[in-house]
Chains A and B, each alone.
Chain A
């Protein structure tokens, strides 16, 4: 009795949510992106692809893309290198490894808002700790978040600090999945540590590297709290990025249609970037051992 009903009841919460907070919103967002709407003054006015054309032709779009690429170019190589190095370090059998692991992990647990507040203060041009430390070495630090050229590197620095512990744990899991016999065989052949890293570790960790890179690039396009708290997109638009713009257009300037279009353009970029990476993976990712 009531077997179908039970199944239905099991699925009910998710189904209600699926319809109300996923399918209807996706449809609505698509429709809104074809309209002009300021929420207060009457219903959305349909005007076709005007938002998309306007966005793609705007100077702002170029700036957002440029800023995002600037972030990616700095962040991706740095986070990948640092996380792999930390993972290699944590893959040693030394005493106290657990303590280091815990220390490296604390920034991951911190909320982005708290971390961004902290970094805004660390990067303060006059009274911040970063420039004080640079001063020990006789380096006059830049104005970081007030400087158009240095604001994004400041955001990158905070992101490396925040994400390093997380990705190094993922790499550590990858390293620990490598079959020990490869190393034993290499040792018998008298391979150096570097050779072992270059010809065993690196190829066999490429699946993890690929996974981390895909995640990092998606996250880079969705950069938000650090920018919102540290710079609010400034100075002079130097850290304006997709989500910050979407938030501001929708909830500060009440240009809902425009914001919705921008969110679909963001989706398109993430989608294309991910597809390109999936296509390219055959060239460098080793799935067979």
Chain B
């Protein structure tokens, strides 16, 4: 019996490490490449560890492209989007969960129906709306469409519905306004789901490619993924440069993950509903 357990344990570590290897070897390769000089890229046999490590790629990255600016753009757009989504969706979700009025269910059904339409369908007209409003190539243009997020509203509404009405009735009798009830009772009770939503929204925006690619064409306004995509078209074979850029783009998300691992995993498993 103990022998069987030992075999089980050993095979667990063997398989788990094998999969870990498959996961990590690309990152090792990424770091290794980013520390190579350009002439060490096309060398056979492949150098797993650079023979002459160099920071050339990191330096050139910031010279060739306003990369520091791209980091800032990504931070700004991701943080602002997260705030907008959380505020806008939680306000609407409160009404859908706790404030009955005529036509509410019809409106909510409309929200749910729009969730079925994939983003690619609305992408072209959204571009045209921004063009009409003169908001192409502005931060506001990237941010504005995020005020409507049916998925986030749905998610928060489902969670706010669970809050017992008795909690709110006492406040209503005391004559509290909707805003007080919302900010003093409902928001504090929804903290875990708000945290999870914030984390997935931040990460989704940080990593988003298509929408900022369409809206932001000015190099000084690009986010990290768009900047990296541009570097790929201009310096497609200079992998030391591309790997250095890719690594830098990962650092903030990794830090955030280690700080808030629980919220991340919780958030991403509910985020799966959105796809």
Q: Which residues of B contact A247 (CB under 8 A)?
A: 210, 214
Contacts of A251 in B (CB 8 A): 127, 214
User: Smallest Cβ distance from B180 to chain A, in angstroms?
Assistant: 11
Choice from B126, B214, B250 contacting A114 with Cβ under 8 Å:
B250
Q: Does A41 interact with chain B (Cβ within 8 Å)? A: no
- Bound together, the chains give a CA A155 to CA B174 distance in angstroms of 60
Report the minimal beta-carbon distance from A198 to chain B, rounded to whole angstroms: 18
A10 engages B178 (CB within 8 Å): yes
- Cβ–Cβ contact B26 & A122, under 8 A: yes
Cβ-closest chain B residue relative to A31: B125
* Contact present for B122 and A29 (CB under 8 Å): yes
Among A106, A118, A256, contact of B246 (Cβ-Cβ < 8 Å)? A118
Residues of chain A at interface, number, CB under 8 A: 87
Q: What residues of chain B lie closer than 8 Å to A85, measured between beta carbons?
A: 15
Inter-subunit contact A24/B125 (CB<8 Å):
yes
B243 touches A118 (CB 8 A): yes
Which residue of chain A lies nearest to B246 when distances are taken between CB atoms in the complex?
Answer: A114
Which residues of B are found within 8 Å of A164, using beta-carbon distances?
23
Count class of interface residues, chain B: 35 or more
The answer to whether A18 touches B110 (Cβ under 8 A) is yes
Distance in angstroms from A128 CB to nearest chain B CB is 8
Interface set, chain A 244-272, CB cutoff 8 A to B: 246-247, 250-251, 256, 259-260, 263-264, 266-267, 270-271
Residues of A with C-beta under 8 A to B41? 127
Beyond A25-B125, A26-B121, A246-B120, whether A228 also contacts B229 by CB under 8 A is: yes
Once the chains bind, are B42 and A14 in contact (CB under 8 Å)? no
Question: Is A111 engaged at the interface, CB distance under 8 Å to the other chain?
Answer: yes
**Which residues on the B side are within 8 Å of A210 (C-beta)?**
none
Indicate if B203 sits at the interface (CB-CB under 8 A). Answer: yes
Q: Which of B50-58, B60-68, B88-96, B163-171 contacts A (4 or more CB under 8 A)?
A: B88-96
Closest approach, in angstroms, between the C-beta of A122 and any C-beta of chain B?
6
Q: Is A286 an interface residue (CB 8 A)?
A: no
Q: Which of B12, B19, B210 contacts A243 (CB 8 A)?
A: B210
Please tell me if A161 contacts chain B, counting CB pairs below 8 Å.
Answer: yes
Out of A32, A106, A108, A117, which one reaches B124, CB within 8 Å?
A32
User: Chain A interface mostly helix, strand, loop or mixed?
Assistant: helix
Q: Does A139 contact B (CB under 8 A)?
A: no
Q: Is the CB of B91 within 8 A of A11?
A: yes
Scan B246-275; emit 1 where CB is below 8 A from any A CB, else 0.
110110011001000100110011001001
Q: Does A94 contact B (CB under 8 A)?
A: yes
Would you call A267 and B145 a contact (CB within 8 A)?
no
29 residue pairs of the A-B complex, CB under 8 angstroms, read A4-B101, A10-B182, A14-B91, A14-B148, A17-B148, A21-B145, A22-B122, A26-B122, A28-B125, A29-B122, A89-B19, A96-B13, A110-B207, A113-B246, A114-B228, A114-B249, A117-B245, A118-B29, A118-B246, A120-B232, A127-B42, A127-B44, A219-B275, A225-B210, A246-B120, A259-B124, A263-B120, A266-B118, A271-B116
Give chain A's interface residues, CB within 8 Å of chain B: 3-4, 6-7, 10-11, 13-14, 16-18, 20-26, 28-29, 32, 85-86, 89, 92, 94, 96, 100, 102-115, 117-122, 124, 126-129, 132-133, 161, 164-166, 169-170, 173, 211-212, 215, 218-219, 222, 224-225, 228-229, 242-243, 246-247, 250-251, 256, 259-260, 263-264, 266-267, 270-271
